[in-house]
Amino acid sequence: MDDTLYILGGKLTYEFIRLNIVGALPSLTTLYGIISDTNLKIIEGQFRFDELKHHSDLLNTKFGFVSEDCTGVVQKITYNERTNSFVGFSAPLTNGIPYVNHFQTDSFEQLKTWFSTVNKASLLNVHMFQPIPSNHLKSSSPFVLAAYGVNNQCTSIDILKRWSYIYDECCKKQIRVIGFSTDADAKYLSAMRLTSGFFANLTNIKLHENDDAFKINIPPHWTWFFLRSQQLFLFFQDATHVATKWRNRLLASTAHLVLGQQPITMQHLQNIIDNGYNKLDHGLVYTDLNPKDKQNYTSCEKIASEDVLNILKHNRDTQATYVYLRLLKHIIIAYVERSTNIKDRLHSAWTVVFTCRLWKLWIKHNIFTRSNSTKKDETKKSKDKYFLTIPVYYSIEINAHNLLYLTLLVKQRQLPPNALNIVLFSSQPCESMFRNSRALSGAFSTRVNFTVNDFLQRAEKLSVLEQIKCYEETNNDSRLLFPIHHKHKKNNDSTTYQSISDIDKLNIENVVLSAYKTAEELVENLNIFHLLKQHNIYQLNDVSKHVYDDLRSTCRINDHSMFDSNDEVEFNSEDHLLFHNDSIEDTDVNIVDDDSDNGLFTTKTTFSGIRLFGSVSDDSMNSYFKINLNNDVKYIHKQTASWLLTEKNNHLSVDRLNRVMEMNRQT
């Protein structure tokens, strides 16, 4: 229990109790040794498959979902004494997999070379494994599979190969990865399309032909279903990111969303705040409409609330904006809300898909003219501003197809019913790990950001805590009780679990057909069917065929990479169209490097506070560089050497919005 107290309360709380209740707790040095002996070490770039096996066995589950996400880090090179390596450089990748302890050296000159030629990592890439809970558990804690510094330079093929590696290694541990989830970034999206064959083709890599691939029977009359029947693993774009991207499209100054001759505009929401309505009527504030805050999910829930939707619905001039925000509400119902049953998830997901397909076809065939100027038709490329962005549209399609595919797998007994807990299949475990790591700074600390090495140390503590929680949850005898935030308790209590009998009774086809009717009803007041009927596009089969042909001709990806190559993806020409640290920073040391003599020279003769010695013990030799200083042999600690070579201290804003903007500029 002492390690739990230290992790939850922090160093000051632990020391206060230890000093005032004599003998109750071990010293911090002893405690650090206990934590380091838990076999939960996290080494940069090392995938922890053995530890994952132990975690899964403890939960009595063999299925799970893997998520991947990045966050901004303070760019700083740190020496990790445990691994005798330098952490903070951008990890080199081979087939998408980082080298472990690549930056290991006993040469000061080699370190200098790395500082001058290798980029510092501006991002931290994290892989989390989310186990599917067994029947007797309400929830299951995610597991840190790997973490390493990157610079956002990997390709879609790197990502694809990395996913294949994770799948294969998990299979060796008798763990079945159901699928992967990311944050709707374009490169991840391309990797998903290539792997699943969703209007994309991998000529030389046939992952779906694996003997362990999922297989379902798709009726031939399901013309609206575009996903291949055989898949090695499934994909979900994180719905929270999809929702925020949906909101951001509405707030973007470059977009001119139109549906049925009506604009979809932020001004309609601005008018609700400004004119005639009390905040009790809608609950909105001006910051909900701030286009710079691109990760404000709470704003998504507020602008798609039933109060706001009812106001828009009863105004004939805001029908298009109503439809757009109603679709946002359907996205939240389908993928984010825990209480939604699988029938309603399918209905909401496919309502969004069919409405977007109708909207897309209407834009394709509609002739837009320039108001107050010439009557020259808009070009095909300029029509993009009237619709969703490519990543958002494909995320909508991919999520709905994979949700239906997953439901069929459960109906066919290839997966357990708890696999339909869709809320778990997201990149939110990564986001939660980032938030918790920042919260470990301490009660009196203003440091919310971390370096790569900081994160690895904090993640180890969180892993120890999660293992204790996991053990106590499965232990019925005198177990420890942990406080639960009231919001988390509410979420756990509201989670809907499907019984296999309910799933057997589910008529998926009827649910999808009902979703198309709902889509028709949503847009019936916007006068788009008149134009679609002129082009013989009205029935579901007609809509599906035209959308399929359009996507196949304009947005197809072809790739000829091999698993042992680093070839790039070839895009169709129209694919981008839709149509332990030294505190010595202030030490005054004037050291210069004389390359001609291959040594260091300084005007100082004493080095108080700096780990620079004339000799060191054999046990500590690995942690020191042997250097020539003023023509004399000295030993400099590797962390001190890193400080010596650092020419600039980088920082990240403690404000979330500014931090995200800085991270975007770095990438």
Q: What is the mean pLDDT of the chain?
A: 85
pLDDT of residue 379: 56
Instruction: Judge contact between 70 and 123, C-beta under 8 A.
Output: yes
Residues with Cβ within 8 Å of 176's Cβ and at least 6 positions away in sequence, in order, are 62, 63, 64, 170, 212
Tokens of 235: 């994909």
Final residue in a domain of this structure, among 465, 485, 505: 485
Tokens of 243: 């929702």
Within-domain flag for 508: no
Its domain, for residue 637, covers 591-645
DSSP alpha helices (H): ranges in 555-619?
none
SS3 540: helix
CA 599 – CA 602 distance, rounded (Å):
10
What does DSSP assign to residue 120?
B
Q: Which helix (H) or strand (E) element contains residue 344?
A: helix 342-365
The end-to-end CA distance of the chain, in Å, is 42
Least confident segment among 2-16, 159-173, 501-515: 2-16
Q: What is the pLDDT of residues 600-637, one digit of tens each?
A: 888 777 777 889 898 999 999 999 999 998 888 999 99
* Sign of the C-alpha dihedral computed for residues 608, 612, 618 and 620 taken in this order: positive
CA atoms within 13 A on the CB side of 460: 19
DSSP string, 91-118: PPEETTEEPTT-S--S-HHHHHHHHHHS
CA 487 – CA 506 distance, rounded (Å):
31
CA 52 – CA 552 distance, rounded (Å):
40
Instruction: Judge contact between 252 and 291, C-beta under 8 A.
Output: yes
Least confident segment among 63-67, 81-85, 86-90, 373-377: 373-377
Residues with Cβ within 8 Å of 533's Cβ and at least 6 positions away in sequence, in order, are none
CA 53 – CA 371 distance, rounded (Å):
63
Within-domain flag for 490: no
Q: Are residues 601 and 471 in the same domain?
A: no
Tokens of 67: 């998520």
b/e code 613-639 from CB counts within 10 Å (16+ = b): eeebeeeeeebbbebebeeeebbbbbb
CA 604 – CA 589 distance, rounded (Å):
7
pLDDT above 50 for 375? no
Phi and psi at residue 626, to the nearest 5° = -90, 120
Within-domain flag for 135: yes
Give CB contacts under 8 A, 24+ apart, made by 333-336.
Answer: 334/239, 334/399, 334/400, 334/403, 334/422, 335/236, 335/239, 335/242, 335/399, 335/403, 335/422, 335/423, 335/426, 336/239, 336/240, 336/243, 336/423
Q: Which helix (H) or strand (E) element contains residue 72?
A: strand 63-72
Instruction: Judge contact between 526 and 262, C-beta under 8 A.
Output: yes
SS3 277: coil
Q: Which of 145, 632, 217 is nearest to 412 (CA)?
A: 217
DSSP string, 121-172: P-EEEEEEEEEPPPTT-S----EEEEEEEE-S---HHHHHHHHHHHHHHHHH
Tell me what percent of the residues of the chain surpass a pLDDT of 70: 84
Tokens of 229: 């029947």
Burial class (CB in 10 A: 0-12, 13-18, 19+), 494: exposed
Q: Are residues 53 and 171 in the same domain?
A: yes
Q: What is the pLDDT of residues 168-215, one digit of tens each?
A: 999 999 999 999 999 888 899 999 999 999 998 888 778 888 899 999
Q: Residue 485: pLDDT band by 50, 70, 90 thresholds?
A: low
Within-domain flag for 333: no
pLDDT of residue 573: 33
Name the β-bridge partners of 231.
214
Residues with Cβ within 8 Å of 472's Cβ and at least 6 positions away in sequence, in order, are 479, 480, 481, 482
- Which range among 39-43, 492-496, 651-655 has the greatest average pLDDT? 39-43
CA 307 – CA 596 distance, rounded (Å):
74
Q: Are residues 178 and 49 in the same domain?
A: yes
Within-domain flag for 42: yes
Instruction: Judge contact between 509 and 347, C-beta under 8 A.
Output: no
Q: What is the pLDDT of residues 631-657, one digit of tens each?
A: 889 999 999 999 999 988 887 776 666
Residue with tokens 């929830």, as numbered in its chain: 139
* Alpha carbon 241 to its chain's center: 8
3-state secondary structure labels for all residues of 471-516: HHHHCCCCCCCCCCCHHHHHHHHHCCCCCHHHHHHCCHHHHHHHHH
pLDDT of residue 373: 36
How many residues in the chain? 667
Q: Are residues 469 and 597 in the same domain?
A: no
Q: What is the pLDDT of residues 572-608, one digit of tens each?
A: 433 344 554 443 334 444 444 444 344 788 877 777 7
Amino acid, res. 604 = K
* Sign of the C-alpha dihedral computed for residues 502, 301, 424 and 294 taken in this order: positive
* Alpha carbon 175 to its chain's center: 22
Tokens of 124: 């931290």
Q: Residue 570: pLDDT band by 50, 70, 90 thresholds?
A: very low
Q: What is the pLDDT of residues 107-147, one digit of tens each?
A: 999 999 999 999 999 999 999 999 998 765 556 889 999 99
Q: What is the pLDDT of residues 421-470, one digit of tens each?
A: 999 999 999 999 999 888 887 666 767 789 999 999 999 888 888 877 77
Within-domain flag for 304: no
Tokens of 286: 């001006």
Within-domain flag for 568: no
Structural domain total, the chain:
2
Q: Residue 415: pLDDT band by 50, 70, 90 thresholds?
A: very high
More confident residue, 382 or 451: 451
Tokens of 318: 């805001």
Residues with Cβ within 8 Å of 240's Cβ and at least 6 positions away in sequence, in order, are 297, 336, 426, 428, 431
Residues 49, 55, 58: CA angle, nearest 5 degrees = 145
- CA separation (Å) from 382 to 12, 15, 579? 59, 64, 9
Residues with Cβ within 8 Å of 358's Cβ and at least 6 positions away in sequence, in order, are 519, 520, 523, 528, 532, 543
Within-domain flag for 658: no
pLDDT above 70 for 317? yes
Q: Are residues 599 and 478 in the same domain?
A: no
Q: Residue 374: pLDDT band by 50, 70, 90 thresholds?
A: very low
Tell me the Cα Rg of the chain.
28
3-state secondary structure labels for all residues of 422-471: HHHCCCHHHHHHHHHHHHCCCCCCCCCCCCHHHHHHHHHHHHHHHHHHHH
